[in-house]
């Protein structure tokens, strides 16, 4: 059976259910099947090129574990990835795919699968002066793919001599220094990291393997690799990663983009993506997460090969008994994104509250606008909570100043502004006048009962609004006033009685909330890291606090609860 036939067999087995797979793997397979059948404008599938890369990878013996020194048949999922990535070409026989995102749980031979591709891109792709990099944020991480590639060259004299390869420097086994180079074409492979010092600009990248993208705290390395390919006709950037915790980082941004491609909400013929993880419904049954091997296989395509079932069973048992071990098990072994060990919300429940909403459909609902201004140098939010009987609708406007949107370490701010999920104000501080204008616009179109501020933050803007006839309510962000509405909001999300519009900036802020519990079992919203913003959630809690108080007719003003001395 040829490699292309093996890839097609893998596709059929996934789509028929013979191979247990999640939604995103099925969609990736369906995408390739549909495109092979219907074609892709401007491209053809070149079976010979697809076969060639697989033959190259198989030619290189393994350099790790029990099969070190042996040539091992390629796994079906890797054959699918290789043939899909390298088979599609345009009329000039240049590759279709310029970017690949592969997300899979740990111990699924990520470095063994990607390192041969770096060798292929550098030395077998007929690209003169090819610059290929193993890229990561740290030297140690960048060195993993590079050292694997170097050991493959060392361990395969036929490869080394046949391609005329040399290894310069970095003779120490665990060193990532030096390079692999080919004198005839002046092509090289090197490790590249942000912490190595020097300027990362000026590169002319033909290929890059970006390892563990989830660990990248900034988008610097990704952007350097992506922008340094413009002079090449068929560059390829491959990100290989496991899920992580940073929902505002570059990795989650790319994963979200891949899902849009696979869902056909975005068409990008240059981007390949596949995500081995669990389905949403799998996460509902916590017991199955730690006992059902069929679920584990979805995230571990090498289950029973490089992934030891007994090892997964041991770790699953530990996670089922120790809540502190659950997040690591979910991210590393089930490839599920988790925000924080002590996160307040079940984000699966939050996602189920997403709906197609238009704020103008709720003009007759009671509206409570709560404003969290925080610092002028950071996010400010208006939570628009709409209430009718026991149903709620939530919209949040998040504001960021121009400078913070462009230079903040949160890599998604700029994209959210461009996509309309954040509102940018000019300059290097958030313009409160813009926030005031938005509030007055809502006064025109909604049945606004109250506009709610923490008086510590908002003396100037609240006075302006009162002069305009707005019913401004002070609401101090104290444990006594935040605990009950925070609990109530959690219950509304759990029951699905509140719906939101799915704004990803709002979702990110809600996912950052950690519930701090005091000795009296009061809870209060906190964040684990300064960059984990929660302003949208804080404003929503304030709005719900006022909405609930008015419903119960307990008091007319929260200030009645406060002893000002």
DSSP string, 110-160: HHHHHHHHHHHHHHSS--TT-EEEEEESSHHHHHHHHHHHHHHHHT-HHHH
pLDDT value of position 348:
78
Cα dihedral 280/283/289/294 (nearest 10): -20
Q: Please, are residues 418 and 400 in contact by the beta-carbon 8 Å criterion?
A: no
- Those residues whose C-beta lies under 8 Å from the C-beta of residue 564, and which sit 6 or more positions away, are none
For residue 195, what are its two tokens?
A: 């912490």
Task: State both tokens at 172.
Answer: 């120490």
Q: What is the pLDDT of residue 362?
A: 97
Residue 430: predicted pLDDT: 84
Is the entire prediction scored with pTM above 0.75? no
CA angle (129 as vertex; 125, 135 as ends), nearest 5: 80
| Cα torsion through 163, 167, 172, 173, rounded to 10 | -20
Burial profile 432-469: b = 16 or more Cβ within 10 angstroms, e = fewer:
bebbbebbeebbeebebbbbbbbeebbeebbebbeeee
Identify the pLDDT of residue 271.
Answer: 98
What pLDDT, on the 0 to 100 scale, is given for residue 171?
A: 56
User: Apex CA 426: angle with CA 510 and CA 372, to 5°?
Assistant: 30
Domains of the chain: 3-275 (3.40.50.300), 280-337 (no CATH), 348-561 (3.30.420.240)
Confidence at residue 549, expressed as pLDDT on a 0 to 100 scale: 87
For residue 129, the model assigns a pLDDT of 96
Provide the token pair at 304.
């029973």
3 state DSSP class of 99? strand
How far the first Cα of the chain sits from its last, in Å, is 85
Question: Using an 8 Å Cβ cutoff, are 3 and 55 in contact?
Answer: yes
Q: What is the pLDDT of residues 29-57, one digit of tens each?
A: 999 999 999 999 999 999 999 999 999 99
> Can you tell me the distance from the alpha carbon of 527 to that of 538, in angstroms, rounded to the nearest whole number?
11
Average pLDDT by consecutive 10-residue portion of the chain (565 residues)?
98 98 98 98 98 97 85 95 98 97 96 96 96 93 93 94 89 68 95 71 92 90 93 97 87 94 94 97 88 97 96 93 80 86 75 94 97 80 96 96 77 86 90 93 96 82 88 92 93 94 94 80 84 93 93 48 35
Q: What is the CA radius of gyration of the chain?
A: 27
Q: At what angle do helices 76-87 and 110-123 cross, to 10 degrees?
A: 30
What's the pLDDT score for residue 341?
44
Q: Which residues contact 367 (CB under 8 A, 6 or more apart)?
A: 384, 385, 386, 387, 442, 446, 447, 448, 449
Burial of residue 315 (number of CB atoms within 10 Å: 0-12, 13-18, 19+): middle
- Contact assessment for residue 399 and residue 422, using Cβ atoms and an 8 Å cutoff: yes
The encoded tokens of residue 54 equal 């697989």
Q: Among all chains, which residue has been given the structure tokens 């609990």?
A: 487
State how far the Cα of 283 lies from the Cα of 357, in Å rounded to an integer.
26
């Amino acid at each position: 059976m040829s490699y292309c036939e093996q890839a097609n067999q893998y596709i059929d087995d996934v789509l028929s259910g013979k191979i247990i797979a999640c939604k995103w793997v099925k969609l990736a397979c369906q995408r390739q099947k549909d495109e092979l059948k219907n074609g892709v404008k401007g491209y053809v599938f070149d079976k010979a090129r697809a076969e060639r890369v697989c033959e190259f990878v198989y030619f290189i013996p393994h350099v790790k574990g029990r099969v070190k020194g042996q040539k091992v048949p390629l796994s079906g999922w890797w054959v699918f990835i290789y043939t899909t990535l390298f088979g599609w070409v345009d009329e000039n026989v240049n590759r279709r795919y310029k970017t690949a995102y592969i997300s899979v749980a740990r111990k699924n031979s990520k470095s063994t699968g990607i390192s041969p591709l770096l060798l292929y891109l550098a030395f077998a792709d007929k690209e003169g002066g090819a610059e290929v990099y193993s890229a990561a944020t740290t030297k140690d991480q960048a060195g993993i793919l590079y050292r694997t590639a170097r050991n493959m060259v060392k361990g395969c004299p036929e490869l080394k001599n046949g391609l005329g390869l040399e290894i310069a420097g970095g003779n120490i086994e665990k060193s990532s220094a030096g390079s692999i180079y080919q004198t005839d074409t002046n092509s090289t492979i090197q490790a590249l990291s942000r912490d190595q010092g020097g300027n990362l600009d000026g590169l002319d990248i033909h290929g890059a393997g970006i390892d563990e993208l989830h660990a990248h705290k900034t988008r610097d390395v990704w952007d350097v690799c992506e922008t340094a390919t413009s002079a090449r006709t068929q560059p390829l950037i491959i990100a290989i990663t496991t899920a992580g915790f940073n929902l505002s980082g570059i990795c989650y941004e790319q994963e979200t983009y891949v899902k849009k491609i696979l869902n056909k909400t975005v068409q990008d013929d240059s981007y390949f993506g596949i995500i081995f993880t669990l389905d949403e419904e799998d996460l509902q049954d916590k017991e199955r997460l730690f006992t059902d091997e069929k679920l584990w296989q979805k995230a571990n395509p090498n289950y029973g090969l490089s992934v030891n079932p007994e090892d997964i069973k041991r770790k699953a048992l530990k996670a089922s008994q120790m809540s502190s071990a659950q997040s690591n098990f979910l991210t590393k072994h089930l490839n599920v994104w988790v925000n924080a060990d002590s996160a307040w919300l079940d984000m699966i429940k939050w996602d189920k509250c997403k709906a197609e909403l238009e704020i103008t459909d709720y003009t007759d609902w009671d509206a409570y606008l709560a404003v969290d201004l925080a610092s002028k140098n950071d996010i400010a939010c208006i939570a628009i909570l709409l209430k009718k009987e026991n149903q709620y609708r939530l919209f949040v406007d998040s504001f960021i100043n121009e400078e913070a949107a462009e230079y903040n370490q949160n890599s998604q701010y700029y994209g959210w502004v461009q996509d309309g999920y954040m509102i940018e104000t000019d300059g290097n501080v958030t313009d409160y006048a813009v926030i005031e204008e938005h509030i007055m616009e809502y006064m025109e179109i909604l049945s606004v009962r109250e506009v709610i501020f923490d008086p510590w933050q908002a003396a100037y803007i609240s006075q302006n609004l009162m002069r305009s006839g707005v019913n401004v309510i002070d609401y101090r962000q104290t444990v006594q006033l935040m605990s009950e509405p925070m609990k109530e909001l959690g219950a509304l999300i759990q029951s699905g009685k509140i719906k939101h519009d799915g704004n990803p900036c709002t979702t990110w802020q809600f996912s950052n909330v950690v519930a701090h519990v005091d000795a009296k079992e009061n809870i209060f919203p906190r964040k684990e890291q300064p960059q984990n913003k929660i302003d949208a959630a804080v404003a929503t809690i304030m709005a719900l606090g006022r909405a609930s108080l008015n419903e119960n007719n307990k008091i007319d003003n929260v200030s009645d609860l406060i002893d000002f001395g």
